[in-house]
Amino acid sequence: MSNLEVVGGIPLVSVIGTPRTMGANLGQRFKPHLQVLSQYLMEQLMSAARAVGASITPKSLREALRTSRLASAALEPSLWMEIESMALAADVPEEDLLLIHGYGDMLSTYQCKVPPSSSTYLSLGSPHTDTGLPRMVLAWHLDPSLLPYITLLRRIPSHGPASLSLTLAGLHPVAGLSEAGMAVGANELRVTDGTSGQLMSHLIGSVLTAPTLDDALTRMQIGPRHGGAAVHLLSTGGERITLEMSGQHQVRLLDPFQSSPRVHTNHALHEDIAAWTSPVGEPTSKARLESIASHAIDATACSPSTIASWFGLDQRSGMERPTRFMTQTGVSPDTTVLMIIDPAAKSLHLRRGASSASLDSVRL
C-alpha cells in the first residue's frame, strides 16, 4: 500500500502491482470496512426482498451471487483475481464482496421496491469549459450510512492502464478515469428484467482497463445483467456515448450535438428502456435533471468551482449560490460527492460536501 492521502474530503488509496497483490493490499486495508459493509447491505437487501414476498436467506443470496462469479471472471479475469485476493485478505466470502459490488443490481433482481441510488451526470463540451476541453461530471447523492466507505481508488497495475475511480471501500465504482484517456460514469436504474449475469459495477471496472473507446463500448454491452444503469463514456477528443441498459435490453442514446451539454439522472430517457424500469423511481430524478440542465445550457467557460456552485457546493463569496438545486430536489450538499473529470488532462477534481475552498484535484 502506498500514500494514503485525502482529496476533496475523500480518502485516496493507491495500490500497485499484479491483480493479486493489489487485491491483497485492498483487502488488508479495508478489512473491517468490508466486513461491516457487506453485513449491513445483506441485512438491508434481505429486508427489502422479504417486503415484496421473496424468500431469501444469507445462504440463498450467496448462491444467487455465486452465479455471477463465472460471468465476472470471463469478462475481466484480472479484476476477478483482484476480488479473490481481496476476499481472502479481508476474511470475507467472495459472494459478500460481490454484494457490495452489485447491491443495486440485486435489488432489481429481487424486484425490491427501493429507489435507485441517486446520482447526477453532466457532460460539457469544449465550448462550455474554461480550459476548452470536454469534461464529465458525476454528483453522487449518498445514503449517509455509506459516507464512511467512500474512497478514491488509484490502481496502477503491472500491465494495463492505471485508473482513478470513486468507490465504496475499493468496490462498486460509479465513476472514474483511465490512463487510456477515458472517463466513465453511471446512473443507477431500477429495472424489472434483472437476471443472473453481469454486475454493472464490474462492467464499469472493466471499462477502466480497456485500451480504446471501441473496446470499452464492447465491454459495456456484455449481458445479461442483474440490474440496469445509464452508463456514460467520454474520450480525450470529446467523443461521448451514453448507453441505457436494463437486465436484458440496451439502447445507445442519440447524441448528434456532442459539444452541447448533456444531463442524465436516475430515470430512463429512451422509451424502450423505460418500459423495463421499475415504477418505484427515484423521486428527485427529474427535478435534478431540470435544475442542472437549466444552468448548463447557456453556460460558457465554466470552471470546476462554477460547476460545484450549481450543486450548491461552492460557498465562496461572489459565487452564484443557487438554492434551486437543493430546494427543488431536497438533496443535501452534506451527502453529495462531486467528481469532475478532465480526460484530456488525465486529471479530476473532487469535493465532498459544500466548501469555500477550491476543489482539490489529482492526476493519473
Reported as a single tens digit per residue, the pLDDT across 14-68 is 999 999 999 999 999 999 999 999 999 999 999 999 999 998 999 999 999 988 8
Task: Tell me if 260 sits within 8 A of 252, measured CB to CB.
Answer: no
Nearest residue to 234 (alpha-carbon basis) of 178, 166, 184: 184
Please state, for a pLDDT cut of 70, what percent of the chain lies above it. 96
pLDDT at position 318 over 80: no
Query: Chain-wide mean pLDDT for the chain?
Result: 93
User: What's the chain's Rg over C-alpha atoms?
Assistant: 19
Which residue in the block uniquely carries the three cell numbers 430515470? 267
Same domain, 222 and 352: yes
User: CA–CA separation, 189 vs 230, rounded Å?
Assistant: 7
User: CA–CA separation, 48 vs 294, rounded Å?
Assistant: 36
* pLDDT value, residue 328: 66
Which residue in the block uniquely carries the three cell numbers 453485513? 39
Task: Tell me if 190 sits within 8 A of 274, measured CB to CB.
Answer: no
User: CA–CA separation, 282 vs 267, rounded Å?
Assistant: 7
Lookup: cell for 187: 446512473
pLDDT at position 321 over 60: no
pLDDT at position 317 over 80: no
Reported as a single tens digit per residue, the pLDDT across 330-357 is 788 899 999 999 999 999 999 999 888 8
Range of the domain at 276: 118-363
Lookup: cell for 91: 476474511
Q: Which residue has the higher pLDDT, 152 or 74?
A: 152
Reported as a single tens digit per residue, the pLDDT across 257-268 is 999 999 999 999
pLDDT at position 322 over 50: no
pLDDT at position 97 over 90: yes
Task: Choose the final residue of a domain: 65, 91, 109.
Answer: 109
Local structure of residue 225 (DSSP, 8 states): B
Q: How many CB atoms lie within 10 A of CB 90?
A: 25
Domain count for the chain, please give it.
2
Same domain, 33 and 143: no
Same domain, 349 and 255: yes
Whether the ω angle into residue 224 lies within 30 degrees of 0, i.e. cis, is yes
Same domain, 138 and 101: no
The CATH number for 288's domain is: 3.60.60.10
Same domain, 150 and 93: no
Q: How many CB atoms lie within 10 A of CB 363?
A: 10
Please state the rounded mean pLDDT for residues 233-245. Answer: 96
* pLDDT value, residue 281: 86
Reported as a single tens digit per residue, the pLDDT across 171-201 is 999 999 999 999 999 999 999 999 999 999 9
* pLDDT value, residue 119: 97
* pLDDT value, residue 357: 85
Nearest residue to 246 (alpha-carbon basis) of 221, 267, 277: 277
